[in-house]
Amino acid sequence: MSRTVYVNGEYVPEEEAKVSVFDRGFLFADGVYEVTSVLDGKLIDFDGHAKRLERSLNELDMDMPMGRDALLDIHRELVRRNGIGDGLIYLQVTRGAADRDFAYPEGATPTVVLFTQAKPGLADAPLAKEGMKIISIPDLRWGRRDIKTVQLLYPSMGKMAAKAAGAHDAWMVEDDHVTEGTSNNAYIVKDGTIVTRHLGNEILHGITRAAVLRFAREAQMQVEERAFTLEEAKQADEAFVTSASTFVMPVVSIDGVAVGEGVPGPVATRLRDIYLEESRKAAI
């Protein structure tokens, strides 16, 4: 059955949705996006995603195309029209269509697109019990990874390299230190302390990361926000990643080296349970 998607103010069947060939998202990757998860028909961490969208747009001299409440209405309407129980909502805002020129055009109308992806059982992914195998790759992305732009070719290449190596994903490494996963934030646990890279331009400021660190501190767990090396990660007791679509996902091996016991660890498992429980309670 065809989905209903949102394009520039209209709800249309996906086959009829159209964006200009001159759209700067298409020509220059001049656009930003957000992915919000849906559990039991409700949105997880919506306000965090709306705030980060505004920040990403501001960094690129673009305005929010609409206020928080209008954005929320569209998310909810898409959930309703597409009968989403568990799934994801993808949102993209580009600078709009204009004759091709590197300089930002004056007065272009932003393009706003949202669509749903149904993912029944999203919170019960079998991988959470099994744990992810990851490989390491150099971080060859641009220097403003804090802006959630649609230029995702290098992360795609990373996922393909992981697949070719029989792994689930890749962590990116710069100056011997792990930055983040191709589409998630990276963590290790050593002697009970959770370590994850500090915020800066080198990583995306994950919305799930912010929530998980808050829950970890509330549960009296030790947290250190600092860069860690790949070597440290291989010798850690546990490792895991966070993102809106995977929540908290344990990592059990890095470049073929087992992390800890080589099975999902107690800290990652507990944080996943806490995150899911608290997020479901706060879902809107």
Task: Enumerate the active-site residues.
Answer: 148
Selected from 113, 195, 207, 251, the binder of ligand PLP by CB under 6 A is: 207
Q: The tokens 């065809």 sit on which residue?
A: 2
Q: Nearer Cβ to ligand PLP, position 4 or 185?
A: 185
Q: DSSP 3-state assignment of 62? A: coil
DSSP string of 149-202?
BS--HHHHHHHHHHHHTT-SEEEEEETTEEEEETTBEEEEEETTEEEEPPPSTT
Q: Compute the C-alpha angle 172/177/181, nearest 5°.
A: 25
Tell me the backbone φ, ψ of residue 226, rounded to 5 degrees.
Answer: -160, 160
204 is an interface residue for ligand PLP by CB under 6 A = yes
Tokens 């479901």 appear where? 280
> Which residue stretch of 127-135, 182-190, 231-239, 276-284 sits at the interface with ligand PLP (rule: CB under 6 A)?
182-190
Return the structure tokens found at 160: 């393909």
Question: Does position 243 bind ligand PLP by CB under 6 A?
Answer: yes
Q: Judged by CB under 6 A, which stretch of 161-169, 183-191, 222-230, 248-256 contacts ligand PLP?
A: 183-191
Nearer to ligand PLP, 30 or 96 (CB): 30
Pick from 65, 87, 96, 206: which binds ligand PLP (CB under 6 A)? 206
Binding ligand PLP (rule: CB under 6 A), the pick from 82, 94, 149, 183 is: 183
Find out whether 177 and 227 touch, Cβ atoms under 8 Å. Answer: yes
In the set 116, 208, 253, 279, which binds ligand PLP (CB under 6 A)?
208
Q: Does the footprint of ligand PLP cover residue 185 (CB under 6 A)?
A: yes
Give kind and range of the element (H or E) at residue 222.
strand 222-225
Q: Tell me the one-letter amino acid at 195.
A: V
Cα 34–chain centre separation:
7
The residue from 23, 139, 180, 238 that contacts ligand PLP (CB under 6 A) is 180
Residue 135 or residue 244: which is nearer to ligand PLP going by CB?
244
Distance separating alpha carbons of residues 28 and 31, to the nearest angstrom? 8
Q: Which of residues 27-56 bind ligand PLP (CB under 6 A)?
A: 35
Rule CB under 6 A: say whether 149 interacts with ligand PLP.
Answer: no
Interface positions with ligand PLP (CB under 6 A): 35, 180, 183-185, 204, 206-209, 242-244
